[in-house]
Amino acid sequence: MYKILTAILFCVLCQSPALSDTLNKESYVLGVVPQFEVRKLYAIWQPIIDEIAMKTGIQIELAPSKNIEEFEMEFAQQKFDFAYMNPYHMLVASEYGYEPLVRDTSKMLYGILVVRSDSDIRSPSDLNDKVIAFPSPNALGASLQMRQELHDQFGIQIRPNYVKTHDSVYLNVILDEAVAGGGVQKTLSRQPLNYQEQVRIVHKTTPVSPHPVAIRASLPAPLKASIKRAFIAMGEEQEGQKKLAKIPIKRIGPAGMEDYLPLKKMGLDRFYVKPGA
């Protein structure tokens, strides 16, 4: 597969001066929504970047953001050439010239609301006026969609505490710093087993298409196609599957803007905090 992809890219380069010029760029920048702290992001994404670079001949640099708010400011400024972002970010980022490239096609994304396993809380209705930990205002399933459903479906008022990462959400709940916390199943499943055993899920949000890797629409079409092929090729190889599973992506495939348009009907803009606001 690698030899085939290399041959395809070589042919494209020979036929496309625009792509050849683009590849002379020193490096391309990948942004990643900070679900985890920086060291974990590097551990997950650097092997993937190295593999994509090897398959395409494109130099890629990971540019971690300190928090989700900073990540939003950076994609609004088009700092990233491509970025792994949450589904609602994809709607927002499309206004700044990004388009979806690939995503996990194996399952849908949903937010989870967790409490301590020994908590008396049995339903979100029991959380009126309680402190709930969230990664940030605009983390989709973990916060944005969760707050929308707590308001619209359960009619409760809460006291949000934004703690920057999913890891911190679960820790805040375990340490009893928050009565409940918003996350997503994918990040909960990456926690140490003893952490997972100390929390219990009391609510799941409406499923939506999962995080895409987005790319700047202004980049040459052959370059975008090359990167897409490289990601999909990784998903066809055993070692590549292991690397992608750490994101986690179980089965990678093409993504389109139509995957994310249903989010417009949820009224999430009422809860979205614009970068810099």
Q: Judge whether 277 lies within some domain.
A: no
CB burial of 71-95 (b: ≥16 within 10 Å; e: otherwise) equals bbebbeeeebbbbbbbbbbbbbbbe
Asked if residue 122 and residue 184 are part of one domain, the reply reads yes
Asked if residue 236 and residue 187 are part of one domain, the reply reads no
Percentage above 70 pLDDT, the chain: 90
Mean pLDDT of 79-91: 95
Q: Judge whether 276 lies within some domain.
A: no
- Alpha carbon 59 to its chain centroid, in Å, reads 22
pLDDT tens-digit profile of 97-135?
Answer: 999 999 999 989 999 999 999 999 999 999 999 999 999
pLDDT tens-digit profile of 264-275?
Answer: 889 999 998 877
**pTM (2 d.p.):** 0.76
What confidence score (pLDDT) does residue 21 get? 43
Asked if residue 100 and residue 54 are part of one domain, the reply reads yes
Asked if residue 228 and residue 191 are part of one domain, the reply reads no
Q: Which domain holds residue 54?
A: 2-107+209-270
What confidence score (pLDDT) does residue 45 get? 97
Extract the tokens encoding 133: 């930990």
What confidence score (pLDDT) does residue 9 get? 37
Q: What contacts 33, CB < 8 A, 6 or more positions away?
A: 65, 68, 71, 83, 84, 85, 86, 89, 139, 211
Q: Judge whether 275 lies within some domain.
A: no
Domain limit, last residue, from 177, 204, 231:
204
What confidence score (pLDDT) does residue 2 get? 35
Cα(205)–Cα(177) distance, integer angstroms: 23
Asked if residue 63 and residue 186 are part of one domain, the reply reads no
Answer whether residue 152 shows pLDDT above 60.
yes
Q: Judge whether 249 lies within some domain.
A: yes
Asked if residue 18 and residue 98 are part of one domain, the reply reads yes
Domain limit, last residue, from 204, 236, 261:
204
Asked if residue 217 and residue 103 are part of one domain, the reply reads yes
Percentage above 90 pLDDT, the chain: 80
What confidence score (pLDDT) does residue 25 get? 63
**How confident is residue 20, by pLDDT bands cut at 50, 70 and 90?**
very low
What is the tally of structural domains in the chain? Answer: 2
Q: Judge whether 262 lies within some domain.
A: yes
Asked if residue 150 and residue 216 are part of one domain, the reply reads no
Asked if residue 8 and residue 92 are part of one domain, the reply reads yes
What confidence score (pLDDT) does residue 17 get? 37
Asked if residue 94 and residue 11 are part of one domain, the reply reads yes
CATH number at residue 22: 3.40.190.10
